[in-house]
């Protein structure tokens, strides 16, 4: 169990404002040598000391109140992860700041694993050099996260032949290959051994030492994935894969290793499997340092997956990360070379632009935060800029946010000069696998409605 003293603060990602940590309470627990009469100065120094770490994790600390009512509060972004912190009074390391996934399941990473398996993608934690985490290995990504990735890479490898030349010694009845003459001389005095030549030959085989090392890593991963450390839901989804790989590797012996050697001649599939194997082998050797995972990328791919499924079922087509290139005689250093919506849905003459934003707007529908307003204004201008590339008077764009419940809200902007209308649909989607069916149903209905309006406008 992690000691409470190891964690300075723990909040979920996309928190607009965390609970307040009173300055006097912080002084008693963390900054014991600080002068509580000027605790606000120590809190500001604390923020300055740890500014790089907070920036890495996408956390914005704020000081609110004055005098003895001074307190700290935090705003988190789309990153999850952990960072170590230093005290403002001594400069020494204190507890860690932890940002966890915004999921409600019993295990923090269950939904995350399900989504990544569904998307068939890999999003690895980003790690930077820092002080070791005070909470040690308790708040780093669990081993089963890496084990799931290894099983996926091994499954791809197992579908293809992986043969290598093994140099083995074999007794031959003719002098071929590399003969061990010293060994031959010691036994050739017997007549029956005159035609027995101990020689080393190269044999192309799948049963080579590197596959044996892969088998060793597979056994480690299988043990972890079937242990109590791994949530039951993840066990259930991986059981068939583990059984398939167990049968596929049945005749391969296990060879212990501390590191798999990655060779220049390895194919991309072999290289990927070895790299993931080394992450498993090094898991307990690497110090726990600052790490983060960007859920914005996860959410973008999740939204693309939903729209792609809808496009298949409605006869449309989806373009993902399509670039609109800029053209000018001379680019300034701060200019954009292109703009890139997350996706574009096309059906005949209809173009619908899609932008996914992993932000907290729909978790704070009635919040008065100026940051929320500024974020939404920026998002709105961006999706309307994308929509300008449609050549029709009716323009449509989807602005997708994570939400506690499924919802679609329509906002229409009308140009009174030329009657051009731009409709932006705010689409709230829970980041869960079991929300996909309902999302597809709502989207199909809404896109059919948009298509009908588009046809009527041309009549």
Structure tokens at 166: 């093994």
Alpha-carbon separation of residue 296 from 11, 265, 370, 378, 407 (angstroms): 17, 35, 21, 16, 19
Distance, CA of 139 to CA of 76 (rounded, Å): 17
Q: Is 64 exposed, middle or buried (0-12, 13-18, 19+ CB in 10 A)?
A: middle
Helices (H), 69-202: 110-119, 143-158, 181-187
Give the chain's residues under pLDDT 70: 1-5, 103-110, 113, 117, 120-124, 136-141, 165-168, 177, 189, 202-203, 284-287, 458-459
pLDDT attached to residue 103: 65
CB 198 within 8 A of CB 217: no
Residues in the chain: 459
**Strands of the sheet with 59-64, listed across from one edge:** 21-22, 71-76, 59-64
* pTM of the complete model: 0.72
Q: Is 29 exposed, middle or buried (0-12, 13-18, 19+ CB in 10 A)?
A: middle
Distance, CA of 183 to CA of 148 (rounded, Å): 48
Residue 353 pairs in a beta bridge with: 344, 397
Return the domain boundaries, the chain. 4-105, 147-281, 294-457
294-457: CATH topology: Trna Endonuclease; Chain: A, domain 1 (3.40.1350)
pLDDT attached to residue 1: 38
């Amino acid at each position: 169990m992690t000691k409470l003293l190891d964690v300075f603060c723990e909040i979920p990602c996309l928190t607009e404002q965390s609970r307040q940590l009173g300055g006097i309470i912080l002084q008693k627990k963390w900054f014991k040598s600080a002068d509580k009469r000027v605790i606000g100065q120590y809190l500001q120094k604390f923020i300055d000391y740890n500014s790089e770490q907070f920036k890495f994790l996408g956390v914005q600390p704020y000081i609110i109140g004055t005098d003895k009512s001074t307190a700290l509060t935090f705003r988190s972004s789309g990153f999850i992860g952990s960072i170590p912190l230093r005290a403002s009074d001594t400069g020494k390391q204190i507890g860690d700041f932890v940002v966890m996934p915004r999921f409600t399941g019993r295990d923090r990473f269950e939904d995350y694993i399900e989504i990544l398996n569904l998307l068939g993608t890999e999003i690895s934690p980003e790690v930077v050099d820092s002080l070791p985490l005070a909470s040690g290995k308790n708040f780093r990504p669990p081993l089963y996260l890496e084990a799931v990735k290894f099983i996926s890479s091994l499954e791809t490898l197992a579908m293809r032949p992986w043969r290598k030349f093994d140099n083995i010694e074999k007794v031959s009845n003719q002098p071929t290959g590399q003969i061990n003459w010293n060994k031959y001389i010691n036994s050739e005095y017997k007549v029956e051994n005159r035609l027995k030549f101990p020689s080393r030959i190269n044999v192309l085989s799948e049963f080579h030492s590197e596959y044996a090392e892969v088998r060793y890593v597979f056994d480690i991963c299988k043990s972890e994935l079937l242990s109590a450390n791994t949530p039951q839901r993840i066990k259930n989804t991986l059981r068939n894969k583990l059984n398939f790989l167990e049968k596929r590797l049945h005749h391969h012996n296990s060879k212990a290793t501390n590191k798999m050697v990655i060779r220049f001649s390895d194919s991309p599939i072999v290289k990927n499997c070895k790299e993931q194997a080394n992450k498993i082998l090094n898991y307990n050797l690497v110090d726990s340092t600052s790490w983060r995972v960007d859920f914005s990328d996860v959410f973008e791919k999740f939204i693309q997956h939903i729209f792609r499924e809808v496009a298949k079922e409605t006869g449309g087509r989806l373009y993902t990360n399509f670039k609109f290139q800029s053209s000018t005689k001379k680019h300034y250093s701060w200019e954009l070379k292109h703009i890139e919506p997350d996706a574009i849905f096309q059906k005949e003459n209809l173009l619908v632009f899609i932008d996914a934003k992993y932000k907290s707007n729909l978790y704070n529908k009635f919040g008065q935060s100026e940051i929320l307003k500024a974020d939404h204004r920026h998002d709105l201008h961006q999706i309307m800029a994308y929509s300008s590339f449609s050549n029709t008077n009716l323009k449509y764009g989807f602005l997708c946010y994570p939400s506690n419940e499924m919802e679609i809200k329509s906002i229409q902007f009308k140009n009174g000069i030329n009657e051009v209308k731009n409709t932006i649909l705010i689409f709230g989607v829970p980041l869960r696998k079991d929300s996909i069916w309902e999302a597809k149903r709502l989207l199909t209905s809404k896109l059919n409605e948009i298509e009908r309006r588009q046809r009527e406008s041309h009549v």
